[in-house]
Amino acid sequence: MKKVILIFCLLFSSNLTFILAQTYSISTENNTKFITLEKNSLTNSILPLSNSKILNNHIQNNIPGDNISMYNWTLYFTSAGKVFKDVSFVNPQVGYIVTELGAVFKTTNGGINWVTKLNLGFPYYWYGVFALTPDTVIISGFNDQGNIYSGVVRWSYNGGTTWTSDINLYLTGGVGWLDRVHFFNQNTGVVMAATSGGLHYTTNGGKDSTGWTYVQINSDLGWFAGSVDFQSSGNIYASGIHFAHSTNFGLNWATFPPADAVFDGGTDFLDYNNLYGWTGGGSISPTVAGWVHRTTDGGTTWSDRLNTFSYPIRALRFFNTNTGFISGGNVYSEAGWIYSTTNGGLNWNLDVNTAAEMFSINTVNVGSDSMDVWCVGSTGGATGYNGKAYKTRIGNPATGIKNVSSVTPSNYFLYQNYPNPFNPTTVIRFQISNPENGILKTGISPVVLKVYNILGKEVATLVNEKLVPGVYEVPFSINQISLNQIPSGIYFYKLQTNDFSSVKKMMLVK
């Protein structure tokens, strides 16, 4: 194997000795370029996967958790010889999967059947996909035999029947290979140049190379890894060698140390309350491990490792302060899984052992009461590469909590729900003022909102988290939280925060 490029990034320590912060090396074997991402002699990943001869023969350790399946994941689609890297559904029926070795698959019936819409083979590698409409879709990646400073995007405007030619996006240094791609609307979008810690953004649709502008997020070229959190509000969170946050669709960024002293890999924050976030991570060599961290103050501080796993975390998706999924593994060891948590990541349940490294999680609402969750990945050890796509359908977690006003209320208040009477859904509004009793310095109140039946038995917990001052709305649906059997009648909802408490009644009429 011939070493072509080796880049070192060094940091000064407090005692004036040099500490190795990160390396990435580019090597060539059988005309295929490989990139190894490493920090302090711990390897995060080796790319590309599907031609790599570098296999890590690790023995799978006992996977933590109580091994109780919480969600019914079903293997919907496999494809031999392909490494599934990303998935995007525009509605419950229409979705796309992209792969290493240049393939794009599409379904129009909710994943029951898939058809090949592009199959370029080597040297193309697709690592990102985003469907704006059922017919308009963008894919991102790189040409392994092309300029190392460039990545590639392509568009289809007819559902994958035809594609544009390569739109090459260049860097002046580092590695230009492209990763995840996301559009906030038809004009505003971003694509990650994750290996070099940057991204390209567009405000005019990005139909050609002149429509994209490069932003170097990490000045030391520190790489990003795993899932990126793109929010409709314009917030973007990325993690890796650094934790980075943009509030304006990727134009400007603030960067911070990673949650983990080694490195992070994948991140997700709550769209409706960005104080709460999680990041994963892990290494594949010489130590094989994974971990999760949690923040409740927007990333200013992070917890210790909540759990350690036998393989790295690659993707995270949280729906509220309690409920979320993680996925990961090691493609070379044919090991991987999907976990779920119902208490904010303190404990994890093994939902499915996929025997494949799972790279990406995507969700799409089926209706007001349920959503489909997709997760894709691949095997890659002794049995060869085999892409896998899993799906589960879940009830929409009781999140929906929205901050509906930027004005800080002068007092606490619980409003009457609307509509009232209701069936099956109603909305409860409440407002939080500046907290007292020594908590004022944080500007955060612990808030609990619960629903009780006429006998005083708890029916549901709608809110149990810390909130900044503001006016909030949260839906209560008997379908959403699987309470179809509760009878018509009077129910009570109670707001409790600091020294304030208020109770109101509502009526369910079936």
Q: What is the pLDDT of residue 444?
A: 63
For 198, the 3-state DSSP assignment is strand
Residue 355 has pLDDT above 80, yes or no: yes
Residue 97 bridge partners (DSSP): 87, 105
Pairing of strands 289-295, 307-309: antiparallel
Q: What is the mean pLDDT of the chain?
A: 86
**200 vs 476: which has the higher pLDDT:** 200
Residue 5 has pLDDT above 50, yes or no: no
Cβ-Cβ contacts under 8 Å for 367 (sequence gap 6 or more): none
Residue 58 has pLDDT above 80, yes or no: no
State the pTM of this model: 0.77
Q: What is the pLDDT of residue 11?
A: 37
- pLDDT above 90 coverage of the chain, percent: 61
Q: What is the pLDDT of residue 391?
A: 96
Q: What is the pLDDT of residue 6?
A: 39
Residue 108 has pLDDT above 50, yes or no: yes
Strand order in the sheet with 167-170: 124-131, 137-143, 150-156, 167-170
Half-sphere exposure of 61 (CA within 13 A, CB side): 14
Domains recognised in the chain with CATH numbers: 2-47 (no CATH), 74-395 (2.130.10.10), 402-508 (2.60.40.1930)
- pLDDT category at 458 given cuts 50, 70, 90 is confident
Q: What is the pLDDT of residue 332?
A: 87
Task: Encode pLDDT of 390-425 as tens digits.
Answer: 999 887 665 567 777 657 788 899 999 999 999 888
Residue 61 has pLDDT above 50, yes or no: no
Residue with tokens 């810690």: 197
- Among residues 264, 369, 277, 365, the alpha carbon closest in space to that of 318 is found at 277
Sign of CA dihedral 429, 433, 437, 441: positive
Q: What is the pLDDT of residue 70?
A: 59
Residue 146 has pLDDT above 60, yes or no: yes
Cβ-Cβ contacts under 8 Å for 254 (sequence gap 6 or more): 244, 245, 246
Long-range pairs of 51-59 with CB within 8 A, sequence gap ≥ 24? 51/122, 52/332, 53/29, 54/332, 55/332, 55/380, 55/381, 56/284, 56/285, 56/288, 56/330, 56/332, 56/333, 57/332, 57/333, 58/284, 58/288, 58/330, 58/332, 58/333, 58/335
Give the mean model confidence (pLDDT) for residues 48-54: 73
Task: Encode pLDDT of 193-218 as tens digits.
Answer: 999 999 999 999 999 999 999 999 99
The neighbour count for residue 500, using CB atoms within 10 Å, is: 18
Residue 200 bridge partners (DSSP): 191, 214
For 332, phi and psi rounded to 5 degrees? -70, -30
- pLDDT above 70 coverage of the chain, percent: 86
Residue with tokens 């994750």: 194
Residue 465 has pLDDT above 80, yes or no: no
Q: What is the pLDDT of residue 397?
A: 66
Task: Encode pLDDT of 234-259 as tens digits.
Answer: 999 999 999 999 999 999 999 999 99
Give the mean model confidence (pLDDT) for residues 357-378: 89
